[in-house]
Amino acid sequence: MIDLSLSLSRTTTMPPSEFSFRLQQGIAGGFAPPTPNAIYTVTASANKPSLFITSAVRPAGTPSLADAVPKSLAVDAGNTSALVDELHGILKELPTEQPPGSEDIYGLDTAIAWGSDDLEWMNGRPQGCGGGFSEVQPTGQQKEKFKRAVAIVEELVSKAS
């Protein structure tokens, strides 16, 4: 007899072969939209050996982001696959603010948006969060997990060349 529960649990924790996620630092707004400090995007396509990464950062003292710089990172480089798997698992467990865009519930002025066949997840909005209150509030442990998710994205971007 084959134990299907073990193989099923492994399948559901692995990220899909195609996905895209975006991290935006600077989501707190209000009457005026936020001024992002950085926007990172990471995209994986099936049968491609690398993640496609863009990084746009606002230099200190300037009003807008610099042009996005394209980079890549081999999926099999070091712990890349494990980091993506960890990020995917974390986001599957975290709540988002309700209504969407109402409040920066994680308090980091940072949003992550993930899109794949098995998961659509977004906290904050590109136009910012401001002025409202969310009906959903994360626990302290969930806030720590979100910090870890942010750190994973930043590590992936920093490893890319």
Q: Which domains does the chain have, with CATH numbers?
A: 17-159 (3.30.1560)
pTM of the full structure: 0.87
Backbone angles phi, psi at 130, to 5 degrees: -175, 140
- Full DSSP string of 127-153: T-B-S---S----HHHHHHHHHHHHHH
Mean pLDDT by 10 residues, the chain (161 residues): 39 72 87 85 93 95 92 93 96 94 91 95 79 90 98 96 90
The answer for residues whose C-beta is within 8 angstroms of residue 12's C-beta and 6 or more apart is none
